Structure 1
């Protein structure tokens, strides 16, 4: 678990840019070579574990775990081979290291719990998804009609059609702000009531 999540965190440090720097949180600088060396070491460890499982578990090795274990080392070895032979590796290939976070699933059972929750509460989740989708369509349409003649030309350009609706804009007309307030009450209110009922 430590190796799986630790290598993923180091990959985050390797790929972060200045625009993602979080205030007051120091982020260590990880160079490409440092990342590839760590990725190679991690891949060799997981390859060794994969080979040992193949030898000692044989036919009892569950196919889904076999695929996850296979994907935890193969992309890393390919990425490292390209990096040390050509001096670069495709970003998508390096990014496949995040698949390693699936390895602890056999011990944690998080996805199994999520699947059982989805199966048990499927009807409620479908109804909630439908209501959310309809509310999204309603609010997007209303914002289009209230903001298409907004005095702010930049906002007009952004809201040229229904596919470009974005909430981060703040220069809405009073009608747009009223719709936003309505949306906030609709989305936050039911969740608060649900929390109160559970407690």
Structure 2
């Protein structure tokens, strides 16, 4: 095992790279073992099963995405923060399709999983500070933004936008519309 240099971190990163190449749903212990030139059985000294492996990739992806979002948000507020965050999200999804798919993997509520998912939501709440939304409007806005970003990116990467208008132009117009909505959030009924 030592000659192959297998560690949990290296396995996780290799699995994330593999997910970007072949799709997150196709990442298996066998495929990963082949990449390291070891047997499947030797992998189990580092991971419990394929779910454990995919959970590790999901945590890595959520952490990477949160780091990108944090860097994008630094020193920004309002529409500037919204656009920077949205572009960081979209760019990550386009550059790392397998890792991005992993961010949608259902995680167990253990501490490592919860921390990664919470940090991702905190970045969205950070961008919303510039819009001064109170609770529960802020939670509604987090859900709206995650739904929009995920929906747009998913449709775009699946080739779902075959209209004549450029996809980037639509993205920019949609971000303009989201900014207007966030600045004029409807009051609670």
Check whether TM > 0.5: no
TM-score, with structure 1 as normaliser: 0.26
Q: Which has the higher helix share?
A: 1
Structure 2 length as normaliser, TM-score? 0.27
Compare relative contact order (CA 8 Å, sep 6+) and give the higher one, 1 or 2: 2
Please identify the structure whose Cα radius of gyration is greater.
1
